[in-house]
Amino acid sequence: MKWMIASDIHGSEYYCKKMLEAYDREKAGKLLLLGDVLYHGPRNDLPRDYAPKAVIELLNARKDQILCVRGNCDTEVDQMVLKFPVLADYCIVCDGKTTIYATHGHVYNEKNLPPIQKGDILLNGHTHVPKCTQHEEYVYMNPGSVSIPKEESHHGYMILEQDEFVWKDLDGTEIMRWKMNM
């Protein structure tokens, strides 16, 4: 199955629409959101077209396609309006060969590892910076941010298909790729 992985929408209707257009264009089967869905947070400026109620509508229309983990800006009240689970601190995606530990990144990250094993992938959002770092024991990845990219990065997402991750901007331009060692 083809997965789209995105993080940090932060209530931007404009960038949520662009992300969903990319999801449709990619013909992905699932959308994995790594948190910070509706609220922009006190440390961030308001993203373009900040409209959490519109984002709720856009995402709820695809509730059966979304898997989501909780970000540091997501709360119980968000779960009251979103029709898919958003309060899990992490999720585990297994394909039989590799385990992907997906979390927002404010609790578990490169400095505070979850219970991963050699060869696993730690997938975070939170920093708003796309990244792929191969450590001795695991690989760390971040799709960057849909709405508030930092460190001169792009508004983007990742695609996981079979054994390859591809980072793209919201227009579909490839930024980088990484292939799992099988």
Mean pLDDT of the chain: 95
Q: For 53, which DSSP code? A: H
Contact yes or no for 153/129 (Cβ under 8 A): yes
Q: In this model, does residue 23 exceed pLDDT 80? A: yes
Q: What is the pLDDT of residues 98-155, one digit of tens each?
A: 899 999 999 999 999 999 999 999 999 999 999 999 999 999 999 999 999 999 999 9
Rounded mean pLDDT of 89-98?
86
In the chain the domains, ranked by start, together with CATH numbers, are 3-179 (3.60.21.10)
What's the predicted TM-score (pTM) here?
0.96
pLDDT value at position 180? 85
Among 147, 150, 125, 166, which residue's Cα sits nearest to residue 20? 147
| pLDDT at res. 13 | 98
Question: What pLDDT is attached to residue 182?
Answer: 53
pLDDT value of residue 33? 98
CB 155 within 8 A of CB 7: no
User: In the chain, pLDDT over 70 holds for what percent of residues?
Assistant: 99
Pair type for strands 174-179 and 164-169? antiparallel
**What is the mean predicted confidence (pLDDT) over 40-58?**
92
**Model confidence at 160: pLDDT above 70:** yes
Sequential DSSP letters for 60-115: HTTGGGEEE---TT--HHHHHH-SS----SEEEEE-SS-EEEEE-SSSSBTTB--S
